């Protein structure tokens, strides 16, 4: 078996720290791709018949490599992941408060574990639309100072918490504090100061809170990776490095990476897995290779998409919530995810392909199935399979505390997952 490589987890930790929002995750990926010789295309640019290229749209990105031996009927090997994570997003009119406290109104994005956002130091990041003479310019902002905090109510004022548990109202109890006193600026003025523009020129924003605690390797012998946004930036950046590795020696099929936004809220957007983004790029690659409808059908019949997303490790304190015959561990290799009701898109054929890829990479592999009496989450896998007609397998690294403000995975698994995905992309 391939030896664990903790350098992959350390690299992923740094990339996650640099990516507090989907927009920053794309910017981070762009810097990696540019350093590897990939060229950026706008939606209006023609797709070249050869070379390493990428397009980005908001919090999404598609990158690919076409070599001189690829043809329009060549299959594609795709790693798909998503850049968004459950979090707190600032409302359009956020300035609020009680007494002398100044607070920011937030919406809960996705299925956040609300209690995990309490008593944490939170920064602010995202993008801002700034007024220009002929329209607006979208500009990224990131403030890693500990600006916000949501203090938990003291136990003396909530004596029932021990028996009834913590009960949080999303509207009333999740409003962060960020200042006190009469001289506090409005949120628009705060953004204007970050961007060095007039407050009147701040037109709108997509701003979200993030935990400012850096990612770290933790536990005895650094066996764990603790970080915000492991779901799903771990898969995104492992897939990114797999594509860069595949670019050095492309196989018979065209390697592709697609990072979608908005998976956590259903993927229905111009940048989500339900959008035509990936399908359009694949069609444009085929057209650049002088392909026709027949070539398109032949290509997709010879293709495979790995829907790369986090998998539930068996929680030692809640073992009864897991399927007893499919226990999943951290540091035991990538996890193949299976659901009979197609919440995951894996079938026997695609499961076999991923299993063989893990064998070729000489890495361990596990299989996950939910308890039959518990609901199962889903991924971009079924959506991508239905939209593209390409065989899909769902796989990822095992983790705990999924959807927490700070999640946990094994530090050995990212390196093994990277090895398996590299085999997929070069196969």
The answer to whether the CB of 95 falls within 8 A of the CB of 186 is yes
The three-class DSSP label of residue 96 is: strand
Fold of 87-211: Aminopeptidase i, Domain 2 (2.30.250)
The rounded distance, in Å, linking the Cα atoms of 122 and 170 is: 17
What pLDDT score was predicted for residue 357? 98
15 — phi, psi (to 5°)?
-65, -40
DSSP secondary-structure letter at 183? Answer: T
The answer to whether the CB of 240 falls within 8 A of the CB of 421 is no
What helix, strand, coil percent values describe the chain, rounded to 5? 30, 30, 40
Per-residue pLDDT of 13-71, as tens digits, reads 999 999 999 999 999 999 999 999 999 999 899 999 999 999 999 999 999 999 999 99
The rounded distance, in Å, linking the Cα atoms of 28 and 31 is: 5
As given in the structure block, the two tokens for residue 386 are 């239905």
Task: Using pLDDT thresholds of 50, 70 and 90, give the confidence band for residue 281.
Answer: very high
Span 269-282, average pLDDT: 97
Apex 65 CA angle, 59 and 71, nearest 5: 130
The rounded distance, in Å, linking the Cα atoms of 144 and 209 is: 10
**CA contacts within 13 A on the Cβ side of 410:** 24
What pLDDT score was predicted for residue 163? 85
Residue 234 has pLDDT above 90, yes or no: yes
Per-residue pLDDT of 372-418, as tens digits, reads 999 899 999 999 999 999 999 999 999 999 999 999 999 999 999 99
The answer to whether the CB of 340 falls within 8 A of the CB of 114 is no
Answer whether 6-85+228-426 and 87-211 agree in fold. no
DSSP secondary-structure letter at 149? Answer: B
Q: Are strands 122-132 and 202-211 parallel, antiparallel or unpaired?
A: antiparallel
Span 210-237, average pLDDT: 98
258 — phi, psi (to 5°)?
-130, 120
Task: Using pLDDT thresholds of 50, 70 and 90, give the confidence band for residue 241.
Answer: very high
Q: How many helices (H) and strands (E) does the chain have?
A: 10, 20
What pLDDT score was predicted for residue 191? 98
The rounded distance, in Å, linking the Cα atoms of 323 and 321 is: 7
As given in the structure block, the two tokens for residue 240 are 């990114």
105: part of which helix (H) or strand (E)?
A: strand 101-109
Per-residue pLDDT of 69-128, as tens digits, reads 999 999 999 999 999 999 999 999 999 999 999 999 999 999 999 999 999 999 999 999
Residue 274 has pLDDT above 90, yes or no: yes
Percent over 70 (pLDDT), the chain? 100
Span 220-243, average pLDDT: 98
Nearest residue to 118 via CA among 176, 179, 180, 178 = 176
Span 344-365, average pLDDT: 98
What pLDDT score was predicted for residue 259? 98
Which whole-number Å values give the CA distances from 186 to 25, 76, 300, 356, in the listed order?
Answer: 27, 49, 52, 56
What pLDDT score was predicted for residue 159? 86
Per-residue pLDDT of 291-317, as tens digits, reads 999 999 999 999 999 999 999 999 999
End-to-end, the C-alpha distance of the chain in Å comes to: 20
The structural domains of the chain, with segments of one domain joined by +, span 6-85+228-426, 87-211
What pLDDT score was predicted for residue 268? 96
The answer to whether the CB of 242 falls within 8 A of the CB of 422 is yes
Per-residue pLDDT of 172-182, as tens digits, reads 999 999 999 98
What pLDDT score was predicted for residue 31? 98
- Residue at token pair 């039959």: 372
The answer to whether the CB of 328 falls within 8 A of the CB of 337 is no
Burial state string for 130-169 with b = 16 or more CB within 10 A and e = fewer than 16 = beeeeeeeeeebbbeeebbebeeeeeeeeeeeeeeeeebe
Maximum Cα interatomic distance, the chain, rounded to a whole number of Å: 72
Give DSSP secondary structure letters for 214-272.
Answer: PPEEESGGG-EEEETTHHHHHHHHHHHHHHHHHHHS--SSEEEEEEES-GGGTS-STTS
Length of the chain: 427
Span 172-201, average pLDDT: 96
What pLDDT score was predicted for residue 272? 97
Fold of 6-85+228-426: Aminopeptidase (3.40.630)
DSSP secondary-structure letter at 82? Answer: E
Nearest residue to 211 via CA among 338, 85, 60 = 85
């Amino acid at each position: 078996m391939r030896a664990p490589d903790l350098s992959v987890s350390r690299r992923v930790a740094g990339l996650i720290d640099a990516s507090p929002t989907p927009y920053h995750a794309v910017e981070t990926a762009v810097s990696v791709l540019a350093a590897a010789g990939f060229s950026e295309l706008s939606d209006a640019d023609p797709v070249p018949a050869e070379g390493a290229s990428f397009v980005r749209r908001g919090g999404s990105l598609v990158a690919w490599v076409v070599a001189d031996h690829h043809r329009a009927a060549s299959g594609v090997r795709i790693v798909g992941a998503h850049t968004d994570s459950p979090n707190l997003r600032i409302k359009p009119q956020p300035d609020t408060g009680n007494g002398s406290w100044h607070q920011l109104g937030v919406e809960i994005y996705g299925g956040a574990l609300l209690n995990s956002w309490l008593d944490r130091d939170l920064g602010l990041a995202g993008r801002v639309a700034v007024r220009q003479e002929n329209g607006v310019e979208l500009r990224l902002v990131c403030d890693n100072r500990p600006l916000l905090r949501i203090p938990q109510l003291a136990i003396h004022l909530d004596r029932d918490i021990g028996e009834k548990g913590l009960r949080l109202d999303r509207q009333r109890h999740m409003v962060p504090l960020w200042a006190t006193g009469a001289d506090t600026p409005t949120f628009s003025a705060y953004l204007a100061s970050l961007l060095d523009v007039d407050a009147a020129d701040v037109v709108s924003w997509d701003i979200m809170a993030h935990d400012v605690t850096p990612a770290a390797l933790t536990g005895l012998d650094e066996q764990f990776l603790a970080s915000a946004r492991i779901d799903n930036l771990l898969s995104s950046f492992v897939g990114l490095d797999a594509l860069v590795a595949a670019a050095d020696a492309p196989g018979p099929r065209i390697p592709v990476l697609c990072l979608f936004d908005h998976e956590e809220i259903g993927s229905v957007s111009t940048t989500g897995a339900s959008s035509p983004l990936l399908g359009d790029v694949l069609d444009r690659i085929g057209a650049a290779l002088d392909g026709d409808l027949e070539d398109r059908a032949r290509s997709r019949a010879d293709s495979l998409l790995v829907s790369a997303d986090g998998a539930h490790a068996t929680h030692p304190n809640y073992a009864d919530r897991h399927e007893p015959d499919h226990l999943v561990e951290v540091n035991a290799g990538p996890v193949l995810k299976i659901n009979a009701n197609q919440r995951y898109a894996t079938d026997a054929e695609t499961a076999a392909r991923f299993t063989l890829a893990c064998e070729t990479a000489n890495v361990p592999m596990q299989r996950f199935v939910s308890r039959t009496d518990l609901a199962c989450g889903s991924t971009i896998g079924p959506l991508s399979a239905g939209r593209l007609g390409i065989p899909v397998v769902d796989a990822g690294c095992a983790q705990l505390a999924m959807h927490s403000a700070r999640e946990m995975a094994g530090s050995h698994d990212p390196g093994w997952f990277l090895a398996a995905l590299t085999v997929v992309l070069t196969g």
